[in-house]
Homo-oligomer: A and B are copies of this chain.
Amino acid sequence: MSYLGIDIGTSSCKAVVFNADGRPAAPRAVRNYKITSPLPGFAELDPSIVMTCCFEVISEAAKSASEKIAAICVSSQGEAFTPIGTDGKALDNAMVSSDSRSLECMNDFTTVFGSEKLYRITGHTPSTLFSLFKLLWLKQNKPHVFANARKILCFEDLLAFSLGVEPAMGWPLAGRTMLFDIAKHEWSHEILDALDLPSDKLAKVLPSGSVAGQIPDEYASSLGLPKGVKFVTGGHDQTIGALGAGVFEAGDAMYAAGSVECICPVIPELTLTQTLFRNNLCSYDYPLPGLWTTVAYSLTGSNLVDYFRNTLGNGEDYSILTGEMPDFPTSLLTLPYFTPSGTPYFDQKTPACIYGMRMTTSRGELLKGMLEGIALEMKLNLTILEESGIHIERFMATGGGCRNPHLVQLKADVLNRPLMCPSVEESGCRGAALLAQSADENMSVKELSHLRMESGEYITPRTEYAQFYEEKFEKYKHFSLSVRNLFKKN
């Protein structure tokens, strides 16, 4: 048997078939698509294009399968949804995560409903990211679309629906809508009532790794899938990616170093605290039974290396630029808000700030100083998690930024934690395939035999530098606070 993992991102979708022993059957199939922005703050995907691309990658991947595909599963971008009309067609484009048009709706709703109450139910703090506020905008600004929608579907369940399966999504994706009661594991009636949205317009919610249904033969055969192939629930991409990177137990976390940097740990119990609440550190389901997670992230990540390369690095090879970085910690201090911040501040206004340059500062030192800033911001997140009893002992590193040893060592030194770089690519597809396999074999993910043979390169923190960064972190906290308050009155 083999298993198909599909990763539906905001700029592309990918599919990889994995054999039962965990090895990919062939290189990934990929299709790219583009976010459109008809107005400032708007960010949309055409769901029919996304679905067509999904069909294409499934079809391409299916062809490469040497063994029969028993089940498929989706790792899905969060928050975006598509209103579906009675004819089964999309009534509008999907507003993706970065769409921020709902800011006003969000503020109004939160004031009335109460942000602490919202947090207690959903495990999330308000942001224009979340489906709830996007739906509010739709209701207020396109009431006919909102009213005429027979279904409102995220991309995981939209794919199920498009494949003729009753739409269903895993709990980790439901958590990202802010419509989900994360403790009861059902749609929140209180929130749906406030939104005036009947729960039957939404997908079924199931634990990750549940069989949502079988793909009807006519759909399956058109994509080159075998008869009887199961559609298994996956969930929100960060969590599925963490699973695919080998994050199975409390103490472990994914460190995804893509253009955005993201920490996604395993948490042994649902943890809702004032500290997490105040710091925008959400709590929601991990795609393994009885486990929880959060996402701590910085929107400035290895995109900063690209920026540096294009703007100040004369387009040099990455290896040349990162090779110029001094081995030792720099004397620079960088607040890394080259983009809006992620957690803990959700700060859109404060820009980056670089302190400590002198005419002796080299290009490599400047680059390293900037990247230290990102790592220190992530260390700040780590500290806040620790304060709520969420301990991370080691990281499983994924993403392009983890293929460069200079960058990984820097993170290990700053975070004072080992990072394992698993020999896995496409951890999103792999996590989904693991869930598909576990559902098909009726076995927990951790029991899948091939996982016990895994290994990867371990990068450990260097004691003297870790100590230096502990001291630098104290300065960083002070710096961050000062800079963020700099023009508050202006």
Which A residues have a C-beta under 8 Å from some C-beta of B?
300, 303-304, 307, 311-312, 314, 331, 337-339, 351-359, 361-363, 366, 475, 478-479, 482-483, 486-487, 490
Q: Which residues does chain B contribute within 8 Å of A331, judged by CB atoms?
A: 351
Q: Please pick, from B300, B312, B339, the residue contacting A363 in the complex, using a CB distance under 8 A.
A: B312
Contact in complex: B359, A338 (CB < 8 Å): yes
A307 to chain B, nearest CB (A): 5
Q: Please pick, from B339, B352, B359, B490, the residue contacting A307 in the complex, using a CB distance under 8 A.
A: B359
Contact in complex: B362, A311 (CB < 8 Å): yes
Contact in complex: B490, A486 (CB < 8 Å): no
Q: Which residues does chain B contribute within 8 Å of A307, judged by CB atoms?
A: 359
Q: Which residues does chain B contribute within 8 Å of A357, judged by CB atoms?
A: 338, 351-354
Query: Which residue of chain B is the closest to A489 with respect to CB atoms?
Result: B478
Contact in complex: B361, A356 (CB < 8 Å): no
Contact in complex: A482, B486 (CB < 8 Å): yes
A361 to B339, CA, bound (A): 11
A423 to B475, CA, bound (A): 50
Query: Which residue of chain B is the closest to A351 with respect to CB atoms?
Result: B356
Q: Please pick, from B359, B362, B483, the residue contacting A339 in the complex, using a CB distance under 8 A.
A: B359
A353 to B358, CA, bound (A): 9
Query: Which residue of chain B is the closest to A485 with respect to CB atoms?
Result: B482
Q: Could you pull out 20 A-B pairs where Cβ atoms are within 8 angstroms?
A: A303-B359, A311-B362, A311-B366, A312-B366, A337-B358, A338-B358, A338-B359, A339-B358, A339-B359, A352-B357, A352-B358, A353-B353, A353-B354, A353-B356, A354-B354, A354-B357, A475-B490, A478-B487, A482-B482, A482-B486
A348 to chain B, nearest CB (A): 11
9 closest Cβ pairs, A-B complex: A314-B314, A352-B357, A312-B312, A353-B355, A307-B359, A351-B356, A354-B354, A338-B359, A311-B363
Contact in complex: B304, A359 (CB < 8 Å): yes
Q: Which residues does chain B contribute within 8 Å of A303, judged by CB atoms?
A: 359
Contact in complex: A486, B355 (CB < 8 Å): yes
Query: Which residue of chain B is the closest to A486 with respect to CB atoms?
Result: B482
Contact in complex: A356, B352 (CB < 8 Å): yes
A480 to chain B, nearest CB (A): 11
Q: Which residues does chain B contribute within 8 Å of A482, judged by CB atoms?
A: 482, 486
Contact in complex: A311, B486 (CB < 8 Å): no
Query: Which residue of chain B is the closest to A300 with respect to CB atoms?
Result: B359
A362 to B49, CA, bound (A): 34
A356 to B311, CA, bound (A): 15
**Sample of 8 more A-B contacts, CB < 8 Å, known A300-B359, A311-B366, A331-B351:** A312-B363, A339-B359, A351-B357, A351-B358, A352-B358, A353-B354, A478-B486, A479-B486
Q: Which residues does chain B contribute within 8 Å of A361, judged by CB atoms?
A: 311
A359 to chain B, nearest CB (A): 5
Query: Which residue of chain B is the closest to A370 with respect to CB atoms?
Result: B357
A337 to B354, CA, bound (A): 12
Q: Which residues does chain B contribute within 8 Å of A338, judged by CB atoms?
A: 357-359
A188 to chain B, nearest CB (A): 37
Max count, chain B CB within 10 A of own CB: residue among A312, A359, A479, A486 = A359
Max count, chain B CB within 10 A of own CB: residue among A311, A362, A475, A478 = A311
A474 to chain B, nearest CB (A): 9
Q: Which residues does chain B contribute within 8 Å of A483, judged by CB atoms?
A: 355
A311 to B312, CA, bound (A): 9
Q: Which residues does chain B contribute within 8 Å of A478, judged by CB atoms?
A: 486-487
Query: Which residue of chain B is the closest to A311 with respect to CB atoms?
Result: B363
A157 to chain B, nearest CB (A): 34
Q: Which residues does chain B contribute within 8 Å of A339, judged by CB atoms?
A: 358-359
Q: Which residues does chain B contribute within 8 Å of A311, judged by CB atoms?
A: 361-363, 366
A380 to chain B, nearest CB (A): 17
A469 to B339, CA, bound (A): 25
Max count, chain B CB within 10 A of own CB: residue among A312, A314, A363, A490 = A312
